[in-house]
Amino acid sequence: GCTGRTAVLESPCFDLGGTVQPFLRTGYHMFGSDMGELHVDLDPGTGWVLDVVPPIVGDQGDQWDTLLVDLSAWSGQVIRLRLRGVTGTGFASDMALDAIELFDAVPPLAVQARVLLEGPYDAGTGLMNDDLRQLGLIPLVEPFTGLGLLGPGEGGDAVDDPSVFTVTGPDAIVDWVLVELRDQVDPAIVVDARPGLVQRDGDVVGTDGVSPLYFTASPGDHHVAIRHRNHLGCMTAATVTLGTTPMLVDLAAAGTPTFGTDARRVLGAAAVLWAGEVEPDGLVKYTGVSNDRDPILQAIGGTVPTNSISGYLRSDVNMDGTVKYTGGGNDRDPILQNVGGVVPTNTRSEQIP
């Protein structure tokens, strides 16, 4: 007498006016050999539309699952929802629902960014060297949370799979970068930030090594800034209109206007971020308090300048995997060159508000 009996959970009216991509989400537990069916119906004011998604039928196992129902077809309307549980062939089953909610899933903004880092850049090939990748030194998890550039709950992004670092050629990964969306009126305000991986050719991709970066900020106009752990970051001079279609933001091209003065080092048609920000203060300094030269000497022991040390370190200015204070390919000389090469007390400032 219990076969085919129906239990109904019916909602009040919901106004979907102003929504972009509304969804119904609920947890469900359907366990037992005699399990019946779960149906979702919808009334847009003209009568019930049965089974707006295919019903879930039979034993689903002894775990909680999630049902997600796209309600975009009824965006802008007033609706009611109904969840119908129908009993199966016997009593050896259990159906339960929990955490039922409606939410508006605004499609993410897509940014196709490009940037070049001076440290590993080879002007002869127009590509960056990927020594850190070849040496297996790039961490699987982004470094910016540890550097204080991302707040609690904002970072922790990791590569989807370590095989991302096995790609070779122009698309090989060079390092992590941080892409920020900034307020169109006050660009000192960071609206959203996302770690990404920069390839040898300058393309910035997501943690899968292929996709553009996606942001949860509202569509519209934003300044875009790109930062690195030991290079001075830079930001677009003008706002960029961002939406769900990937928008190219090419900070590797010399012709792209940037905020401030000399925000990048221009090398012909290319532009690279200034290397040498070993101390995290937005400056490249060769001498004086909190200069960027001394940490290089300290990293190799502080007493013998011909020593070297390997690792994923901020003091590795040229990003070849080895910190050197003297000799060929050392990490000290680029700092002096970037403050002018003649007057060691000069400094270079990051051009981000």
Reported confidence tier of residue 82, pLDDT bands at 50, 70, 90: very high
d(CA 243, CA 12): 33
- The stretch 241-252 carries a mean pLDDT of 95
Average confidence (pLDDT) over 55-65: 92
pLDDT over 80 at 163, yes or no: yes
Residue-averaged pLDDT of the chain: 95
Question: What is the C-alpha separation between 123 and 127, in angstroms, rounded?
Answer: 7
Q: How many CB atoms lie within 10 A of CB 276?
A: 30
Domain 6-104 sits in CATH 1.10.150.130: no
What pLDDT score was predicted for residue 153? Answer: 66
CA terminus-to-terminus distance, the chain: 72
Evaluate whether 184 touches 220 at the Cβ level (below 8 Å): yes
d(CA 135, CA 335): 24
The CA angle 211-215-218, to the nearest 5 degrees, is 140
Percent of the chain with pLDDT over 90: 86
What percent of the chain stands above pLDDT 70? 99
- The kind and range of the H/E element at 283 are strand 283-285
What number of residues does the chain have? 353
Q: Which amino acid is at 321?
A: G
The pLDDT of residue 92: 83
CB atoms within 10 A of CB 201: 17
pLDDT tens per residue across span 179-208? 999 999 999 999 999 999 999 999 999 999
pLDDT of residue 334: 98
> Helix and strand tally (H, E) in the chain?
3, 25
User: Looking at residues 132-156, what average pLDDT do you find?
Assistant: 90
pLDDT at residue 189, as a whole number = 96
Q: Cα separations (Å) of 47 from 41, 42, 81, 83?
A: 10, 8, 11, 15
> Quick one: how far is CA 147 from the chain centroid?
16
Structure tokens at 141: 């998890």
Cα angle value 132/169/254 (rounded, 5°) = 85
- b/e 320-349 (16+ beta carbons within 10 angstroms → b): bbbbbbbeeebbbbbbbbbbeeeeeeebbb
| Residue 152 pLDDT | 64
How would residue 79 be classed by pLDDT, with cut points 50, 70 and 90?
Answer: very high
Tokens representing residue 130 in the block: 């990927």
159 touches 133 (CB < 8 A): no
Distances (CA, A) of 80 to 22, 83, 329: 13, 10, 68
Confidence of residue 344 (pLDDT cuts 50, 70, 90): very high
Q: How far apart are CA 296 and CA 266, in angstroms?
A: 26
Cα dihedral sign, 200-204-208-212: negative
pLDDT band of residue 317 (cuts 50, 70, 90) is very high
CB 106 within 8 A of CB 216: yes
Amino acid at residue number 14: F
Each domain of the chain, given as residue ranges in start order, spans 6-104, 109-272, 283-349
pLDDT at res. 183? 97
Residues 51, 38: Cα–Cα separation, whole Å: 9
